[in-house]
Structure 1
Amino acid sequence: MIPYERHELILNKLKEADLLKIDELAAFMPDVSMSTLRRDLKELEKRGSIEYLTGGAVKLHSAAREVSVFEKGAQRSSEKDLIARRAAAEVEDGETVYVDSGTTATALLSLLVDKPVTIYTTNGYACRFTGELAAKVVVIGGDFNPVTCSLTGPMVESALRELYFDRAFIGVNAVDEDRGIMTPGYPEAIKKRIVMQNSQASYVLADSSKFHVFSNVKVCDLEGFTVISDKRDAKIGERVKMITA
């Protein structure tokens, strides 16, 4: 077998069993030497696909996946509310801001609509606000993801390239000092990059459960923005400015 075939076989076996010892994996691959198997496992670990455990076992890496806003909204809600309130305190009357999708960003959005600001957003939850709002809210239309209530795609990207913001508040799924900030989907990553390039100040909203985990697509390195979180992290704080809620 070529390396690609061996890697796929290893990953498929781990999907079935969740956790396997190295000698158990070797039994599934009798034609592969132990030295080659260990080399393959090291390569998969380097890519972030698997994790080595004590006792000579391996498992699939627990990458941050895309989950519904309903599922995420029930997780760490108090921390997200604190982060949202701290983020709202950064915004001054009369500013033009961008608010991303995600549960923490949605909490922030619900606070900012009561301020005299202009809000651009790709968060589908903005359409649920009714009655009089102090803010002017502009929802940028595009491809709707019913899982995350997020809008992405070419129409969104085209509009965002023509817009500039005083501040942007970005939702992410993972933050790591070496891999940067990450999100599950490529369209989300492109959208976030455009917004951050067109903003005078960018803030990443991330509770501490998102530190040192991984997701599928890198948005950018840890530079040029501020992380607002419920806890400070020493390694991440060495690379980028952090504000603790």
Structure 2
Amino acid sequence: MTKDTSRRRGPERRRQDIADLVLHAGSLTAADLAERFDVSLMTIHRDLDELERQGIVRKHRGGVTAQPSGVFESNVAFRMNAMGPAKDAIAEKAAALVEPGMAVMLDDSTTALALARRLIGITPLTVITNFLEAINLLARERDIRLMALGGDYDPLHDSFLGVSCVDAIGALNVDLCFVSTSAVSGGFAYHQEQRIVSVKRAMLEAAVRSVLLIDHSKLNRVALHRVVPLSAFDLVIVDDEAGPQALSEFDEHKVTYELAEM
């Protein structure tokens, strides 16, 4: 690997550069990073410890990764670049459910963001979300009434969470709610973080109809917290690379689903 000059710019700049590399590559070894930044392994491990504390990456034996686990949700920058074609296909399918005049709620998933990009032509529309990226995307659309859900800003997810967010959702009633989760298995949707779970549950309670947007990489996986049974959703939209085992599990649990063609 080409050596970097970030060491001369201080540890904060080096850690940002390490984070950028890991988020782009998905995973790297500590030895590769030490060589790249021309610092000791001990220094790299201190940097990785701090990035892990911030929730940007997670360490594993001999290296570091930005990829999710059962207890670790990937940074939004990593998720924005993952499974793009699948998310676009799912979003295209989901957009067909939206009609002018509706009130639509979107969670802070990058799949819901792909849907937000397709709502611009379906107006007039009311869109409610806690995802800052979606808020910025829709803020200048004159025919969309945008409602931003407040709360505590969380840089890992680039969204607003916490009690204030849950309370704001509880005061609303929407026609359609679109959410995604980190994992689906055994008739349940899962997520790694309790603070995210409470917001997603509140969104589902506020909706007349709710739709789960899930790409095939999240099937047959579990995470720390159960969000809701899949039966809580009126529809699950998954891309057509979902395997037969996952689809048979949907059938077993009597889950209504549609396949989005990639």
Change (3 A) 1:62 1:153: closer
Deviation digits for residues 202-231 of structure 1 (CA, Å, limit 9, x no counterpart):
001110110011112111112031111103
Cα distance, 1:65 vs structure 2: 2.7
Work out which of the residue numbers 87, 96, 100 in structure 1 matches 2:94.
Answer: 87
Work out which of the residue numbers 144, 161, 169 in structure 1 matches 2:178.
Answer: 169
In structure 1, how many angstroms separate the alpha carbons of the residues matched to 2:69 and 2:232? 28
CA RMSD, aligned part only? 1.7
Deviation digits for residues 43-86 of structure 1 (CA, Å, limit 9, x no counterpart):
xxxxxxxxxxxxxxxxxx95263111221122110000000111
Letter in 2 for 1:176: S
Q: Secondary structure in 2 aligned to 1:92?
A: coil
Change (3 A) 1:92 1:127: closer
Letter in 2 for 1:185: E
Match of 2:158 in 1: 149
Number of aligned residue pairs: give it: 184
Match of 2:248 in 1: 234
Letter in 2 for 1:241: T
In structure 1, how many angstroms separate the alpha carbons of the residues matched to 2:117 and 2:76? 15
Cα distance, 1:174 vs structure 2: 0.5
2:194 matches 1:186: yes
Identity %, equivalent residues: 29
In structure 2, how many angstroms separate the alpha carbons of the residues matched to 1:119 and 1:173? 23
- Highest CA radius of gyration, 1 or 2? 1
The within-5 A match list for 1:1-245 is: 62-63=69-70, 65-116=72-123, 117-129=125-137, 131-178=140-187, 180-225=188-233, 226-231=235-240, 232=242, 233-239=247-253, 240-245=255-260
Letter in 2 for 1:234: S
What stretches of structure 1 move > 4 A for 4+ residues in a row? none
Deviation digits for residues 80-130 of structure 1 (CA, Å, limit 9, x no counterpart):
000011111101110001011111111111211332110010111123225
Q: Is the 8 A contact 2:193 2:225 kept in 1?
A: yes
Structure 2 gap segments, 5+ residues each: 1-67
Change (3 A) 1:237 1:143: farther
Letter in 1 for 2:79: K
Match of 1:24 in 2: none
Letter in 1 for 2:248: A
Change (3 A) 1:62 1:99: closer
In structure 1, how many angstroms separate the alpha carbons of the residues matched to 2:120 and 2:251? 30
